[in-house]
Amino acid sequence: MIKSAFSKYLIISIILLAVIGCTEKKKRILNLPSTDMAEASLIPKPLKIIATNEAFGLDHTTSIYTSANDKNFEKVGLFLADKIKSKTNLRLAVNDPEVPEVNGVIYINQSDSDELTTAEAYQLYITKDSIILNAKTAEGAFRGIQTIRQLIPEISNDTITELPVWVVPTGKILDIPNFEFRGSMLDVARHFFSVEDVKKYIDLLSYYKINALHLHLTDDQGWRIEIKSWPKLTEIGGSTEVGGEAGGFFTQEDYKEIVAYAADRYMMIIPEVDMPGHTNAASVSYPILNGNGKTPKLYEGTHVGFSTFDARKDTVYSFIDDVVREISALSPSPYFHIGGDESHVTKKSDYIYFVNRVEKIVQKYGKQMIGWDEVAQADVSSSSIAQFWDSEENAQEAVKKGMKVIISPAKKAYLDMQYDTLSKHGLHWAAFIPVDTAYVWSPEKYAGIPKENILGVEAPLWSETISNLEELEYLAFPRVIGYSELSWSTQENRDWDNFKVRLGNQAPYLDRMNVKYYPSELIDWKESKFTYKEIKKD
């Protein structure tokens, strides 16, 4: 009796499950238009895409499951669910045992596949029924979910059922970054930008798989990071900016908040304290540091090269020790950027002595030194990194010393260069950089730096001519999207004619994010319901 009741229950359950399965299956197969993954507007372009020309329907029944053995995979799943919510208004369950797995499922798995050759690599298998994302690490999974986000269209297909379905193309992707370092820099010294502004920039960059944001924290016009042992740096040195505005600075708590926000997006924040030149704000705050023989005054102009620390004074090095110690304690990044550019009033021998000593301080706090390419003239160690912005000779010197190089040539990669003579903001001392020029060059072949010496690519945004988020976005977007592809995608996978179509299709995302990008006429921008017509006109 008990046995037969049980088998009855079992049979009913099986029938029920089969019915649920069938209806669900039916719903998924139901008239979804075939879509071509190879045509998807993914930026940066993945290493390999094999399209299978069917469709996965993302809808309110879709749920997310992540590897149980790593909490960080679950965090990535929750991040994806959040972003899907803001795009589609669907609230997908994450690792919820109550939700039947018979419906369309997104799996985010920890995998040891041999194909996954770096921590950031991922595989994506999309069929009609499931999206499977494999990565060795949560970092790889995080890069992979950006691809999933980009594969989900901005607009649902409401003609298939009474409930909206987002049609995702099926196929297989294997993706591995070409360079491990993919960065942008923001100058918060010439004009200060708030924590909220920086967070928005981080969020946008991470969508394009950029993994480093270098903050230029100090310059002649402002000191922007609280140093508890030298409080006047921000009290005095943080009080001004270019053009006589109020300035501002990050408290250490603010800085930690930025670092944590970036870390949630697997992005590191690289702090830069520019020295021995570009130090007027520090020297006004503590004149004992000054080495140019003049009485320092607050400076709100845009000239460079007039300030220097006194490279032969021990107090200067105790000061730097305190600064590097306090910032390093807030900064999980392995790098500390010491600037080192345009020290035009520092004697060459003093400059070399200074960089040599500061490198040791940086190493004492467990960090690798980065400096603008001039630092290669000192006796720096091969573990330090030169950021090639100007001088090929310095970059070659860095290679000779066995250093890694970050490729940031002003002529190609400076986000503060004007697009053309009509640009509303920006400078043009290095070049005009229209959107195609920004994209059509090869960092892996630039100035003969061997690929094995290249750590990656960084696009710096100097802020002499921009003072708010809208202006920042005008210069950074869309060019920084191209730099993400120059640093992630292989040279064989980069092609301007193909890129410009994918770039034009970013408009609905950028519009939804309220990004006031420069609407270059070289690009056919896709219309969207959020389009900012008034900007597009000018």
Which stretch of DSSP H or E encloses residue 509?
Answer: helix 507-512
Reading the block at residue 135, the tokens are 């990565």
Minimum CB–partner distance for residue 341 and ligand TNX (Å): 3
Minimum CB–partner distance for residue 464 and ligand TNX (Å): 6
Minimum CB–partner distance for residue 188 and ligand TNX (Å): 12
Q: Answer whether the bond into residue 44 is a cis peptide, omega within 30°.
A: yes
Minimum CB–partner distance for residue 284 and ligand TNX (Å): 18
Q: Please tell me the distance from the alpha carbon of residue 492 to that of residue 479, in angstroms, as a whole number.
A: 20
Which stretch of DSSP H or E encloses residue 521?
Answer: none
3-state helix, strand, coil in the chain (%, to 5): 40, 20, 40
Q: Please tell me the distance from the alpha carbon of residue 401 to that of residue 397, in angstroms, as a whole number.
A: 6
Question: Measured from the CB atom, is 73 or 372 closer to ligand TNX?
Answer: 372
CA nearest to 241, candidates 303, 283, 286, 189: 189
Reading the block at residue 443, the tokens are 């960092």
The correct pick among 389, 446, 474, 483 for binding ligand TNX (CB under 6 A) is 389
Q: Answer whether the bond into residue 478 is a cis peptide, omega within 30°.
A: yes
Question: Measured from the CB atom, is 119 or 427 closer to ligand TNX?
Answer: 427
308 and 299 in contact (C-beta within 8 Å)? Answer: no
Q: Does residue 47 belong to the site contacting ligand TNX (CB under 6 A)?
A: no
Minimum CB–partner distance for residue 413 and ligand TNX (Å): 10
Residues in 412-431 that interact with ligand TNX by CB under 6 A: 414, 416, 427
Question: Measured from the CB atom, is 141 or 370 closer to ligand TNX?
Answer: 370
Minimum CB–partner distance for residue 414 and ligand TNX (Å): 6
The correct pick among 70, 342, 436, 444 for binding ligand TNX (CB under 6 A) is 342
Reading the block at residue 433, the tokens are 């950089």
Question: Measured from the CB atom, is 304 or 501 closer to ligand TNX?
Answer: 304
Question: Measured from the CB atom, is 264 or 342 closer to ligand TNX?
Answer: 342
Question: Measured from the CB atom, is 187 or 485 closer to ligand TNX?
Answer: 187
Q: How far is CA 70 from CA 2, 135, 509, in A?
A: 42, 12, 31
Question: Measured from the CB atom, is 166 or 462 closer to ligand TNX?
Answer: 462
Question: Measured from the CB atom, is 178 or 408 closer to ligand TNX?
Answer: 408
Minimum CB–partner distance for residue 372 and ligand TNX (Å): 4
**Under rule CB under 6 A, how many of the chain's residues touch ligand TNX?**
10
Question: Measured from the CB atom, is 154 or 471 closer to ligand TNX?
Answer: 471
Minimum CB–partner distance for residue 503 and ligand TNX (Å): 24
Q: How many residues belong to the chain?
A: 538
Minimum CB–partner distance for residue 283 and ligand TNX (Å): 16
Minimum CB–partner distance for residue 465 and ligand TNX (Å): 9
DSSP 527: P
Minimum CB–partner distance for residue 234 and ligand TNX (Å): 20
Residue 229's CB is within 10 A of a number of other CB atoms, namely 12
Q: How far is CA 103 from the centre of its chain?
A: 34
The correct pick among 372, 488, 509, 517 for binding ligand TNX (CB under 6 A) is 372
Residues in 296-335 that interact with ligand TNX by CB under 6 A: 304
Question: Measured from the CB atom, is 298 or 427 closer to ligand TNX?
Answer: 427
Binding mask 256-295 for ligand TNX (x = CB under 6 A): ----------------------------------------
Question: Measured from the CB atom, is 59 or 341 closer to ligand TNX?
Answer: 341
Which neighbouring-strand residues pair with 94?
Answer: 64
CA nearest to 293, candidates 305, 303, 279, 307: 307
Looking at residue 72, its amino acid is N
* Residue 14 burial (10 A CB sphere; 0-12, 13-18, 19+): exposed
- Could you tell me the end-to-end alpha-carbon distance of the chain, in angstroms, rounded to an integer? 82
Binding mask 490-519 for ligand TNX (x = CB under 6 A): ------------------------------
The correct pick among 120, 175, 341, 458 for binding ligand TNX (CB under 6 A) is 341
List phi, psi (to 5°) of 511: -65, -45
The correct pick among 462, 474, 499, 518 for binding ligand TNX (CB under 6 A) is 462
Q: Please tell me the distance from the alpha carbon of residue 413 to that of residue 460, in angstroms, as a whole number.
A: 7
CA nearest to 110, candidates 73, 147, 75: 73
Name the residues that contact ligand TNX, by CB under 6 A: 304, 341-342, 372, 389, 414, 416, 427, 462, 464
